[in-house]
Each structure stands twice: as structure tokens, then as C-alpha cells.
Amino acid sequence: MQSEKPEQKQKHYSTCTLCEAMCGIEVTTQDRDILSIAGDKLNPFSEGHVCPKAMALKDLYEDPERIRMPMEKTDHGWQEVSWDYALDKVATSLFAVQQEHGSESVATYLGNPNAHNMGSILFGPYFYRALKSHNRYSATSVDQLPHHIVSRQLFGHQSQIPIPDIDHTQHFMIIGGNPLASNGSIMTVPHIKRRLKAIQARGGKVVAIDPKRSETADISCEHHFIKPGTDALLMLAMLHTLFDKKLIKADALLPLAPELLAVEQYVAAYPAKRVAKLIGMSDTQIIALVESFCAAGPAVCYGRMGASVQAFGTLTQYLIMLFNMLTGNLDKQGGMMFTQPAADLLPHSGRGSIGNFHTRVRNLPAFAGEFPVSALAEEITTPGEGQIKAMVIGAGNPILTTPNGQQLDNAFKNLDFVVAVDFYITETSRHANIILPPVTALERDHYDVVFHNFAVRNSTKFSPAIFPPAETSKTDWQIYLGLAERLDKLNGLPTERYQALWQKQPKGVVDDLLKSSQYAYQGEALSIDLLLKTPHGIDLGPLQPDLPNAIYHNDKQINLRFDYFMADLTRLEKHFFEAATVNDDSLQLIGRRHLKTNNSWLHNSKRMVKGTNNGLSRCTAQIHPDDAQKHNIQDQQMIKVTSRVGQVSIPAEITEKIMPGVISIPHGWGHNKKGSQWQTAEQHAGVSVNDLTDEMVLDELSGNAVLNGVPVTIEAA
């Protein structure tokens, strides 16, 4: 009998979901196999750009260690179970825990892949609401929480974050960011290297300020070292310089922010001379930074991860926003601008409540319904009403990615029940009783409901699933909706509304948003059907000035909230100017990222972890030659790094690209926990930098974790 002919090769035009850049990709398939992934040259937003991570989509899809059916932990190891059994078991177990210990006894933690997942964003909340628990945590409080709080207070919505108009600026100042490695970050920007070089080609300047001479710093016009955690001092001095040198250009904003010039009284005590030594620059350097910025024409000051995850991260991001406003660069072409996404979720989503609830143990405030993740372990281990007894982990690995991970690892052993929505047995999901594996990104419909809000140019694109769903597979939204329906039924609540949700699906919600947008294409209103006919996406033009429309406050005024933000100057004064100076041998710990390893899933892709750095893996401790000599450490030698909470052994990488007194260890490694099951990741285990970060040290204004500026000591192992 003659075998059936294989299907013809097909080309699909999709979107890479592994970072924020929203690069269009051309995926060639045959049957259910992926033959290649390349940049989509006809995508109007990314124009063919793609980074090495795109091929990891194929690796994740094909990985033999990826879980494809629900798994239950038994006395005989992990056993495959049916979807109906698994969903029923999870719902009844969570219900039983809440019946015995109260609704707050079940907590959720969401990792950042959820932000890249249309189904999780739109339908996950039905499940969280069905749980009726305020114990919610996410990667937000080890990342961008300061951005959200600043935007909530100033502009009225947590996600109304202005974005650098990189294509029109003449001066791009980057503080604590490395967009060449991240492809942006709260700045959705494919072709970042080309765009940075274009600034310079048109006579502009790129300036990087960072404790490490990063990949971005290497191609910048200027790089300035700064001591970790001192960015708020730099911004105070820069604001002081604006007033001192009479460089203010805020007239256009004063009708919307009439108190803006009152900033002068708050920064009067911070001339460049006072802070220069503390931050590791000279006062002339600081003044020159400001004068160059103000002389450039349209300019933008952008602070990112390194500026956020420090003791004064929220104050720093606030001061950065004030600097852009006072120089006349907010809502101005080439400055910080608001986006106008086609499917705008902001009017239909929570604006971000502040302090409505607090954690039991340390009384830390919630923001937008989430507690700081630094409090998670103590909320599990501290007895009493509201103690966490069960966890739901959604696409996250907090044991590697949140402060004092070893403490959290131990805390998870005390839980009565754990469910993980994940397709690997990771360092965190190995604690689960049930693992519910969703499909990979190319097996589900995709629309970037989050990252169009942060894009440097307005565009729209819908990517249908490349492969039809297998009968035995489920997407994230089907998992969450199935659990929500079961929980509501167990709680005696009506479930009729779920029938309409199953039929509508997340793409139906996106379709409604598109149809209500301001845009049209060739005379036709936007819709999913239209985007299916334009598979490469549609360009909707550059960012446009949008004030006062962009403000969500009822009075359409920018609320500067000096009482909230500037009150933190009291803590800053004590920290930098009143605390006793300690003369010791400690170094300041910072993180770093690599283009190929933005989250721990990618560590199980051989092509993402292959290749070495001077004979070393990517997980090294970078130190300056002066510090190596001081501690008698040789290049590639194993060293012990010790903090208040833990110790790791890691190879040293001696480099002049790191500032003296600073040590850099990358984020997301540490695949050496007994019970995880991903061999490639374990073969490139590295160490977890979060075995060193301290859960007790927070940015007190926001509750964000302090991952940069952690004091550590080093010695030869």
C-alpha cells in the first residue's frame, strides 16, 4: 500500500513572543513540523528583524522534555492523567483548602510570560476572581512596579507609561538599561541597534549610564559608570542643574501640571558637588550631561531595570519623568510619548489601586491587587489567619527569580497543595501536586494586548495558531476558564456566563477592541477578519502627541503627588548622608541579562545556551581587575560570593567592563535543584543570583525588590 504523500510546505506569518520586541516571523512548516523560523521582511513594524531567540520557539515546541499532558505527583513519581481528572482535582483541592483555612489561604504567582499571552491576560482574571483571594503575587514586584506606580499617580493609569520616541530623538539617555540585550523593555523596539545608530547618524547622541559597560554602552557615544543604587541622587542633581543653569522648558506643560516648577524647592539641597562622590562621577560630568541633553533639541531620558530594582527605584523613575517634563520632552516628538494602540485595553482594565490591602507579617501594601513577592515566603511559613496553604503558579519560576530563593524553596515544602500551569518540571513546579501544561506560543492565537501599549510606533497584527490544536492539548485560557467554572460551581455560584466566554474566546475580546478603535485600513474598520487578510500586520503611523487625552484622572491634570514621592527624600537623606560609613571589603551586586536567555525556559534550548565566553558559561561573576587583585582572585577561578541570606560558588570573570567595587551575576540560573527535569538546563546549571538577594530589603515606596546594590563579600573558593 502506497503511503500518503507528506503535506506541502507552508509559510505562516506570526509573532515572536519571547521578549517585548514583537518581531514578525516567517515560520515554514510541513505537517506538524517546524522547518525554519526567519524574520518577516514584510512586517511593517519589525521589517525582517529577528534575534537569535526566535529559533527557541521551535526548540520549545519540539523539546522532548516538554510536558504535553497533565501530570500528577504520586508515591511512584510523576504520572500522566487526563485533563478532566486534573482540572477536577485542582479545583476540588483548592476549594477544600479554602473551606478549611479561608479564602486567603490560596495564593497565586504569575511569571512574566503571561504578559506575552493574550489568553492569560484576558481570561486568567476569571480564575483569579473565582479564587476570591487577595494573596496575589507576580514578577511585577521584581521588575517594573516603579513604572506602574509613577504612571498611576501622574497620569491616572498604571499602564499609561510614556515611551521613548526613539525614531525622532536627537539625544537618548539610557539609565540602567541594556536594550541591545533586552530588545527594549517597557519600550517595544525591534531593530534597536539600527535605531540607536540612526540617532548618531543624524547627528544625535546616545548616552549610557550604568555600573557595567554593557552591549548598549559599547555602541553609545558616551558611557558613564555609576555606583549601584545611587541613580536617585544623580537625578536630583540633574534636576538641580536644570534650575541652576536656567534650562527649564516647561511652559507647554504648565497648564496640565501647574505645580511643576515647585520641583525646584525639593531639589535645592542636591547640587552636583554634593552627590558626585557618592555616585562615582564628577560634578562637571553631571552638569555636562544636563547641558548636552538640553542643547540637543528633542531628547529623552529613559530608565529601566537597573534604575527600578534598587532601594530608591520608584523615586528614581519619578525623577526621570520630572526631568523629561521640565526639559519640555513629555508628549513631544522625539521625547517621551504616549502610544495609541489599536486594541486598547486600558479603558477597560484596572487603573491600579494603591494600599487597599496589606500583607499580614510586614504590613506591606498591595498595588493593583498584588502584594510584593518579597513577602511570599513569610506569608507561607508564618502561622495564623490568612496563612498561605496552597499556591497556583502560572508560567513562573519564583524560586530562581525572586529574593532569597532558597528560603522560598524551603517554604514551598510546607504547602498543602501546589498547582503549576507550566510545560516543564522546573525548580518551582517540581513542588507541584499537579502540573497543567499549556501549548507553546506557536500553537495558540496571539495578539499583543500588552506590548502594543509600549511600542515605539503604532501598528497592529494578529497571529493565528500555526498548528490546529491537538485533541489532548489546552491553551492557557482554556485551563484558567475551566478552573474558574469548576470553582464557581463548587462555591454554589451560577456558571451560565461561561458558555458565552467559551464561544467568544480571547480573540473575540480583541475583535471587539479593534472594532471600537480610532483606526481604519483602506477604508475598512479594523477587525480580526481584516488582520487575517493582512498577515504581515498594518502600520498605523508614528506616535502622536496625546495630552490631555492620555490622562486618566477625571480633571485631566497631571497629578505630581509631591506628598507621596518627595516624602521619600527623608529616607534618602538618612541612607546616603546620615548613616554611618562602613569600611569593609563588600562589593555591590548587580544583575545582567543576555540576548539568548531572557527567561529560564530558554535554558533548556541547546542553541540558546551553547557557546562560551572566554571558555566560561554565561553564568559568571564579573569583577573588575582591581577587585580581583585585592582579593587575590584569578580569571576563571571559582569564588564564593556571600550575602546576608546565602552563599554561591561561581567562576570569576575579570573584566574592565565592570565598575570597581561592583560584581555582576546574571539572573535566572541555578538549575541544580533535586527533582527538576530539564536536562539541558541542568547541564548548564549556573547559580541563582537570588540565593544572594535579600527579601527584607525593599524599595519602601513601592515594595519592589532590591536586586541591585546588594552588599556581598567574595573570596577564593
pLDDT at 597: 79
Residue 584 is placed in which grid cell?
569593609
Asked if residue 350 and residue 309 are part of one domain, the reply reads: no
Q: State the pLDDT confidence band at 518, using cuts at 50, 70 and 90.
A: very high
Q: Residue 368: is its pLDDT beyond 80?
A: yes
The domain that holds 23 is classified in CATH as 3.30.200.210
Q: Residue 184: is its pLDDT beyond 60?
A: yes
Q: Residue 315: is its pLDDT beyond 70?
A: yes
> How many CA atoms within 13 Å lie on the side-chain side of 198?
11
Across residues 345-363, what is the average pLDDT?
94
Please state the φ and ψ torsions of residue 662, each to the nearest 5 degrees: -125, 145
561 found inside a domain: no
418 found inside a domain: yes
Across residues 108-128, what is the average pLDDT?
96
Asked if residue 82 and residue 46 are part of one domain, the reply reads: no
Asked if residue 600 and residue 506 are part of one domain, the reply reads: no
Q: Kindly give the pairing relationship between strand 698-699 and strand 106-110.
A: unpaired
With a pLDDT cut of 70, the percent of the chain lying above it is 98
Mind listing the pLDDT tens digit for each residue in 269-299? 999 999 999 999 999 999 999 999 999 999 9
Distances (CA, A) of 467 to 7, 10, 35, 275, 530: 13, 11, 13, 57, 21
Out of 337, 355, 384, a domain closes at: 337
The domain that holds 78 is classified in CATH as 3.40.50.740
553 found inside a domain: no
Out of 280, 308, 337, a domain closes at: 337
39 found inside a domain: yes
Q: State the pLDDT confidence band at 114, using cuts at 50, 70 and 90.
A: very high
pLDDT at 673: 92
The Cα 43–Cα 65 span in angstroms is: 33
Identify whether the C-beta of residue 47 lies closer than 8 Å to the C-beta of residue 191: yes
Among the ranges given (56-60, 84-88, 240-244), the one the predictor scored with the smallest mean pLDDT: 56-60
49 found inside a domain: yes
The Cα 118–Cα 103 span in angstroms is: 27
Q: State the pLDDT confidence band at 4, using cuts at 50, 70 and 90.
A: low
Residue of 355, 340, 342, 363 whose CA lies nearest to 153 = 355
Q: Is 274 left (phi over 0), alpha (psi -120 to 50) or beta?
A: alpha
Asked if residue 178 and residue 228 are part of one domain, the reply reads: yes
The Cα 288–Cα 309 span in angstroms is: 26
Residue keyed to cell 544572594: 692
Supply angle C-alpha 566, 232, 377, rounded to 5: 85
Residue of 261, 264, 203 whose CA lies nearest to 236 = 264
Asked if residue 383 and residue 413 are part of one domain, the reply reads: yes
Across residues 352-371, what is the average pLDDT?
95
Q: Kindly give the pairing relationship between strand 10-15 and strand 24-30.
A: antiparallel
pLDDT at 579: 77
Asked if residue 81 and residue 228 are part of one domain, the reply reads: no
Identify whether the C-beta of residue 630 lies closer than 8 Å to the C-beta of residue 610: no
Mind listing the pLDDT tens digit for each residue in 156-170? 999 999 999 999 999
Contacts (Cβ under 8 Å, ≥6 apart) of 670: 400, 405, 427, 685, 686, 687, 688, 689, 690, 691
Identify whether the C-beta of residue 173 lies closer than 8 Å to the C-beta of residue 301: yes
Please state whether the predicted TM-score (pTM) of the whole model is above 0.95. Answer: yes
672 found inside a domain: yes
Domain count, the chain: 4
Q: Residue 27: is its pLDDT beyond 50?
A: yes
- Alpha carbon 136 to its chain centroid, in Å, reads 17
Q: Residue 342: is its pLDDT beyond 70?
A: yes
The domain that holds 205 is classified in CATH as 3.40.228.10
pLDDT at 665: 96
Angle between helices 283-294 and 272-279 (to 10 degrees): 110
The Cα 714–Cα 622 span in angstroms is: 12
Contacts (Cβ under 8 Å, ≥6 apart) of 430: 673, 675, 676, 677
Identify whether the C-beta of residue 302 lies closer than 8 Å to the C-beta of residue 217: no
Peptide bond into 548 cis (omega under 30): yes
Distances (CA, A) of 303 to 317, 321, 483, 620: 7, 9, 39, 25
Asked if residue 258 and residue 327 are part of one domain, the reply reads: yes
pLDDT at 1: 47
Asked if residue 175 and residue 110 are part of one domain, the reply reads: no
Q: Exposed, middle or buried by CB within 10 Å (0-12, 13-18, 19+), for 233? A: buried
Identify whether the C-beta of residue 498 lies closer than 8 Å to the C-beta of residue 481: yes
Neighbours of 712 (CB within 10 A): 22
Asked if residue 528 and residue 389 are part of one domain, the reply reads: yes
Residue 103 is placed in which grid cell?
479564602
The domain that holds 640 is classified in CATH as 2.40.40.20
Q: State the pLDDT confidence band at 2, using cuts at 50, 70 and 90.
A: low
Asked if residue 527 and residue 413 are part of one domain, the reply reads: yes
Neighbours of 245 (CB within 10 A): 12
Across residues 543-562, what is the average pLDDT?
98
3-state secondary structure of 117: coil
15 found inside a domain: yes
Q: Is 154 left (phi over 0), alpha (psi -120 to 50) or beta?
A: alpha
Mind listing the pLDDT tens digit for each residue in 622-649? 999 999 999 999 999 999 999 999 999 9
Give me the domain span that covers residue 681. Answer: 579-716
Identify whether the C-beta of residue 316 lies closer than 8 Å to the C-beta of residue 308: yes
Contacts (Cβ under 8 Å, ≥6 apart) of 53: 16, 18, 19, 595, 596, 598, 602, 608
Q: State the pLDDT confidence band at 612, using cuts at 50, 70 and 90.
A: low
What does the DSSP assignment read for 34-64? EEEEEE-TT-TTTTT---GGGGHHHHHHH-T
Q: State the pLDDT confidence band at 228, using cuts at 50, 70 and 90.
A: very high
Q: Residue 617: is its pLDDT beyond 80?
A: no
Residue of 73, 130, 83 whose CA lies nearest to 415 = 73
Asked if residue 106 and residue 51 are part of one domain, the reply reads: no
Residue keyed to cell 541612607: 575
The Cα 402–Cα 707 span in angstroms is: 9
Chain mean pLDDT for the chain: 95
Across residues 549-567, what is the average pLDDT?
98
Out of 278, 309, 337, a domain closes at: 337
DSSP 364: P
Among the ranges given (328-337, 354-363, 427-436, 574-583), the one the predictor scored with the smallest mean pLDDT: 574-583
pLDDT at 616: 60
Q: Residue 614: is its pLDDT beyond 60?
A: no
Q: State the pLDDT confidence band at 3, using cuts at 50, 70 and 90.
A: low
Q: Exposed, middle or buried by CB within 10 Å (0-12, 13-18, 19+), for 471? A: exposed
489 found inside a domain: yes
Contacts (Cβ under 8 Å, ≥6 apart) of 48: 24, 39, 40, 41, 42
Mind listing the pLDDT tens digit for each residue in 416-441? 999 999 999 999 999 999 999 999 99
Asked if residue 591 and residue 709 are part of one domain, the reply reads: yes
Among the ranges given (2-11, 271-280, 384-393, 597-606), the one the predictor scored with the smallest mean pLDDT: 2-11
